[in-house]
């Protein structure tokens, strides 16, 4: 029998985390100055995002674009209800996060051993071992942790990730005390039926909120988001201007453009709390700074100067 999609009261809102300052800028050769990053984060705050991932506590020799995350957190104008978060991949990063006074972090492990070794110099099991220690340290200091799984669907090096592996990581991260699980299609290789199957099973093994981080390499980003929304997912990551990618995955393209995601949900009558006109202004500013077309349908169609 065909499943009926019924809209309930809680379906009328989705939570979108903005990722351009981290996932976006880490992939750009044009290095943004600290002042430009502060201005970008402040502009995104003005758009109404409930959470913004502003940077990463990772090795500055490997990802120099993220080296000034501490300074950025000191300088941004904290506004309204916005939560500011940063990416962490190991214990050292968690030490830096705790010292910065940040209240929320995303700790990511990879479901793919080959990607884990490239991204963190750690096997997937060693990375999980570090996660255990780092998450417990963060939780004991009152920092909220999102537990993320990179390559939760398909890895360019290992192919389709076995579902059992993903469920094992979801359960392990949940037991560690993370407040939210993030499933990342880091290389943008997942298709909608795969997203549906994985999300259905993940929602059966954890009771904490689950969010999705979907890259748009094959143009499936929004379709995958819609498939996940149909299964009850209400939290998504997106990136202004569709910026993003993984420095250690050559095939990865940008995230779903935030303006496209906001437009999708608002068109369906699902509130995002985000101002689309303000967001388009920020995307236009990024396009000017980067001096190239961006991976954003809404910006391309509606973001040209009059």
Query: Dihedral of the CA atoms 189, 194, 198, 203 (nearest 10)?
Result: 110
Q: Is 260 in the site for Zn ion (CB under 5 A)?
A: no
How many angstroms separate the CA atoms of 16 and 148, rounded?
15
How many angstroms separate the CA atoms of 139 and 272, rounded?
29
- Interface region with Zn ion, contact rule CB under 5 A, candidates 22-30, 105-113, 123-131, 267-275: 22-30
| Residues forming a β-bridge with 55 | 86
Work out how close the CB of 257 gets to Zn ion at its nearest, in angstroms, rounded to a whole number: 13
Single out the residue of 17, 18, 23, 113 in contact with Zn ion (rule: CB under 5 A): 23
- Interface region with Zn ion, contact rule CB under 5 A, candidates 23-31, 73-81, 228-236, 286-294: 23-31
- Interface region with Zn ion, contact rule CB under 5 A, candidates 5-13, 21-29, 114-122, 260-268: 21-29
- Interface region with Zn ion, contact rule CB under 5 A, candidates 16-24, 91-99, 122-130, 228-236: 16-24
Instruction: Report the DSSP pairing between strands 51-57 and 83-88.
Output: parallel
Q: Please give the sequence-ordered ranges of beta strands (E in DSSP) within 186-300, or none if there are none.
A: 210-214, 235-238
Q: Which is nearer to Zn ion, 227 or 253 (CB)?
A: 253
Number of residues that bind Zn ion (CB under 5 A): 1
How many angstroms separate the CA atoms of 129 and 191, rounded?
30
Q: Which is nearer to Zn ion, 18 or 23 (CB)?
A: 23
Work out how close the CB of 173 gets to Zn ion at its nearest, in angstroms, rounded to a whole number: 17
End-to-end, the C-alpha distance of the chain in Å comes to 49
Contact 185, 225 (CB under 8 A): no
How many angstroms separate the CA atoms of 264 and 278, rounded?
16
Work out how close the CB of 248 gets to Zn ion at its nearest, in angstroms, rounded to a whole number: 11
Q: Which is nearer to Zn ion, 53 or 98 (CB)?
A: 53
Instruction: Report the DSSP pairing between strands 159-160 and 154-155.
Output: antiparallel
Q: Which is nearer to Zn ion, 192 or 247 (CB)?
A: 247
The residue whose Cβ lies closest to Zn ion is 23
Contact 186, 215 (CB under 8 A): yes
Work out how close the CB of 66 gets to Zn ion at its nearest, in angstroms, rounded to a whole number: 13
How many angstroms separate the CA atoms of 170 and 5, rounded?
26
Instruction: Just list the catalytic residues.
Output: 246
Q: Which is nearer to Zn ion, 98 or 108 (CB)?
A: 108
Work out how close the CB of 77 gets to Zn ion at its nearest, in angstroms, rounded to a whole number: 26
Judged by the rule CB under 5 A, the positions of this chain that interact with Zn ion are 23
């Amino acid at each position: 029998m065909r499943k009926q999609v019924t809209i309930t009261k809680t379906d009328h809102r989705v939570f979108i985390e903005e990722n351009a300052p981290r996932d976006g800028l880490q992939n750009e050769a044009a290095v943004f100055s600290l002042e430009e990053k502060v201005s970008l984060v402040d502009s995104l705050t003005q758009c109404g995002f409930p959470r913004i991932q502003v940077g990463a506590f990772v090795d500055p020799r490997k990802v120099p674009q993220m080296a000034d995350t501490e300074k950025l957190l000191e300088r941004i104008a904290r506004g309204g209800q916005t939560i500011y978060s940063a990416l962490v991949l190991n214990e050292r990063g968690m030490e830096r996060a705790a010292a910065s006074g940040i209240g929320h972090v995303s700790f990511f492990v990879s479901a793919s051993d080959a990607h884990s070794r490239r991204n963190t110099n750690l096997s997937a099991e060693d990375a999980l071992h570090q996660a255990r220690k780092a998450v417990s340290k963060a939780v004991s200091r009152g920092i909220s942790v999102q537990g993320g799984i990179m390559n939760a669907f398909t890895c360019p090096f290992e192919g389709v990730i076995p579902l059992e592996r993903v469920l094992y990581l979801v359960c392990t991260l949940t037991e560690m005390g993370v407040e939210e699980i993030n499933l990342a299609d880091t290389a943008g290789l997942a298709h909608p039926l795969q997203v549906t199957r994985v999300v259905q099973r993940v929602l059966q093994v954890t009771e904490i909120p689950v969010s999705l981080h979907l890259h748009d390499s094959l143009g499936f980003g929004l379709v995958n988001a819609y498939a996940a929304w149909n299964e009850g997912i209400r939290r998504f990551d997106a990136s202004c201007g569709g910026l993003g990618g993984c420095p250690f995955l050559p095939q990865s393209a940008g995230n779903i453009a935030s303006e496209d995601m906001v437009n999708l949900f608002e068109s369906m009558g699902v509130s995002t709390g985000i101002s689309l006109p303000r967001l388009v202004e920020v995307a236009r500013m990024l396009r000017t700074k980067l001096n190239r077309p961006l991976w954003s349908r809404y910006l391309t169609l509606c973001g040209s100067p009059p």
